[in-house]
Structure 1
């Protein structure tokens, strides 16, 4: 990596990326054998900057190379749009996925509380609409195309959340089918919405020792077994042990249903297989699901996800994985500096100081107090 880059805020930001792992994969797959300028490493740096600055197209990416500092970072002075497009379609998304998961592992070992707490694993999906004429591989209706990102967000505390697992499917894929992939750690509590309601899956999770908090639909049939003391919390309406489903089709295990009233006066029926926590804690766990909505909002508003630099499935997946790498890099600098700044603020300062000495950016993060 260029010495000048390491001294910049950009160099500091990307330093957690395992470039040795990247080079091993490049060598193994012969990705750079016939490449004169735009190596896989340079492509990655350009994509990260494209997300950071929200460049609209490959043309804007090419034009950005008038910046001498960017030239030093990537190792060349200019690149054509056709070369950018070719590399965007050629580099296997598995390569970028491995870098993302490596950063996730770095976050987990970095966070000192990880081994002493039971974090919330929040599961949800977001659909990215695509133009059917350009993205025929993603067709799910006659006139529409789309990609669905099924994601698990780890919530360590109110300041630190990060994605640690995902799958990408066509937009018509049902959310329930991805629980098998996204639920794999018994040392966590899984939180998801009513779109994942599945009696068989709830039984399997309970039998295998996985805890969850979810929401049942209005028409879900339940039969009371016993009622617990709901406590003095005015928003907790009831707390019961129930059978889930009808006598002909029901879950084998007994579950807990907590009825709560949200801030808008709407009554929610929350289901969990944990009986050792208060109804208020059940309610708060479900409310934490909002964190993944905020993450998806960030993903669609502050990096380039709504529009793509290429039309192939590989190009789209590469852009999504590099967007997730951007988020993980923000989280890592947040953890390293002990900053209470939100990811959006970290990104804004980085944009302004990207080629300035890294200490200017780090100093600002460390001096940031909780708003």
Structure 2
């Protein structure tokens, strides 16, 4: 798996993101190997990771790594910048984007879902992450690209940062479609997106004030209840002076009624409803990484150590995505991790392993073939 990360690229990034004197007892590569093992093998603590590596000392040489102690690893996690793994994440992301399958809609626009997940922390252990009077938290903000369901935009902030504050900073491409829940309702931002040629789909707030300018015909057999052109009124009128589209939809399965707002007048009303329904993929993404990678419990207590672990988890996710795109297998991330956990230090081809094919006969060593005459 580590062959997918060119070593010279990693070392270049490691030199760019180094602080203090030269490391003597451990390298950044050894740190990456150790913490990646923690992610893929589900190790719970630094001591657990180090014990696991110690049991594989003979194989670490072939990985370009070396055994480490928990004290040394903890010191590197605390002192060396997490930005190395943020930069590595973007390198891996650019590779994955070239292989990712397209989203399932007919339109050619890029489609993104925005959301954030809060990771609770114990305030007495992580005092820098104060979220309330009695608890701490960090928040992971993600812009999920529906081409391959890749986390194209990732930002980690303190728990108090509002979702829309991060949303405003994203550099989304023109003509793209971004879908989000009501936490991102900001009429000034909607107007800014419209000026940049970016389409948005969101749910309308219940207390929104608006005036209907035009009503459009809807196909009620598709669950649509309304399709209107509106303008915002009240105190928010000046924040978003452009006309918006208001679409009502009743889910035939649950009977729940939804009202969507968008600045896209080209797509069919049912397509807008389906776009919002596809936003559920980002919820599945958060569920996937929380259940299968180590981003809820941490092996360090400093801010740098926590961010290092989160960014390495994101790198591990992209490594698995890259393998999945290349091999074109149907296994979920959870199934892939379960297979890899039992074979992390076995020298086997990945594709037969992930397809469930039995291993071939072991290769005979040249020494075993020597015969005395």
Q: What TM-score do the two structures reach when normalised by structure 2? A: 0.88
C-alpha displacement at 1:73, in angstroms?
4.8
The aligned residue for residue 294 of structure 2 is: 304
Sort the Cα spacing of 1:59 and 1:267 in 2 relative to 1 into closer, same or farther, 3 A. Answer: same
Deviations 1:81-104 (A, max 9, x none): 111100111221111100000111
**2:347 and 2:216 mapped to 1: Cα distance?**
59
**2:17 and 2:188 mapped to 1: Cα distance?**
42
The aligned residue for residue 55 of structure 1 is: 43
Q: Which has the higher contact order (CA 8 A, sep 6+)?
A: 1
Structure 1 residue ranges without an equivalent (≥5): 1-12
Aligned residues: 351
Do structure 1's residue 321 and structure 2's residue 311 form an aligned pair? yes
Do structure 1's residue 43 and structure 2's residue 34 form an aligned pair? no
- State whether residues 228 and 245 of structure 2, in contact with CA within 8 Å, keep that contact through their aligned partners in structure 1: yes
**2:178 and 2:17 mapped to 1: Cα distance?**
37
Sort the Cα spacing of 1:69 and 1:346 in 2 relative to 1 into closer, same or farther, 3 A. Answer: farther
Structure 2 residue ranges without an equivalent (≥5): 358-373
- Mapping for residues 46-85 of structure 1, pairs under 5 Å: 46-64=34-52, 65-68=54-57, 70-73=59-62, 78-85=67-74
- State whether residues 121 and 136 of structure 2, in contact with CA within 8 Å, keep that contact through their aligned partners in structure 1: yes
Sort the Cα spacing of 1:350 and 1:117 in 2 relative to 1 into closer, same or farther, 3 A. Answer: farther
Sort the Cα spacing of 1:39 and 1:298 in 2 relative to 1 into closer, same or farther, 3 A. Answer: same
3-state secondary structure, aligned to 1:121: strand
Deviations 1:303-325 (A, max 9, x none): 11111111111111111100100
- Mapping for residues 217-366 of structure 1, pairs under 5 Å: 217-246=205-234, 249-250=237-238, 251-262=240-251, 263-359=253-349, 361-365=350-354
The aligned residue for residue 164 of structure 1 is: 152
2:79 counterpart (61, 86, 90): 90
3-state secondary structure, aligned to 2:264: coil
C-alpha displacement at 1:232, in angstroms?
4.2
**1:295 and 1:69 mapped to 2: Cα distance?**
36
- State whether residues 166 and 182 of structure 1, in contact with CA within 8 Å, keep that contact through their aligned partners in structure 2: no
Deviations 1:216-254 (A, max 9, x none): 121112211111121243421111111124266352011
The aligned residue for residue 176 of structure 1 is: 164
Sort the Cα spacing of 1:108 and 1:77 in 2 relative to 1 into closer, same or farther, 3 A. Answer: closer
C-alpha displacement at 1:30, in angstroms?
5.0
The aligned residue for residue 88 of structure 2 is: 99
C-alpha displacement at 1:352, in angstroms?
2.5
**1:347 and 1:233 mapped to 2: Cα distance?**
43
The aligned residue for residue 114 of structure 2 is: 123
**2:226 and 2:169 mapped to 1: Cα distance?**
33
Do structure 1's residue 198 and structure 2's residue 198 form an aligned pair? no
Deviations 1:11-55 (A, max 9, x none): xx2322243232113334556964334210111011111011111
Cα root mean square deviation, aligned = 2.2
The aligned residue for residue 124 of structure 2 is: 133
**1:225 and 1:310 mapped to 2: Cα distance?**
57
**1:136 and 1:252 mapped to 2: Cα distance?**
44
C-alpha displacement at 1:366, in angstroms?
5.5
**1:217 and 1:113 mapped to 2: Cα distance?**
31
Q: What TM-score do the two structures reach when normalised by structure 1? A: 0.88
**2:135 and 2:153 mapped to 1: Cα distance?**
27
Sort the Cα spacing of 1:29 and 1:179 in 2 relative to 1 into closer, same or farther, 3 A. Answer: closer
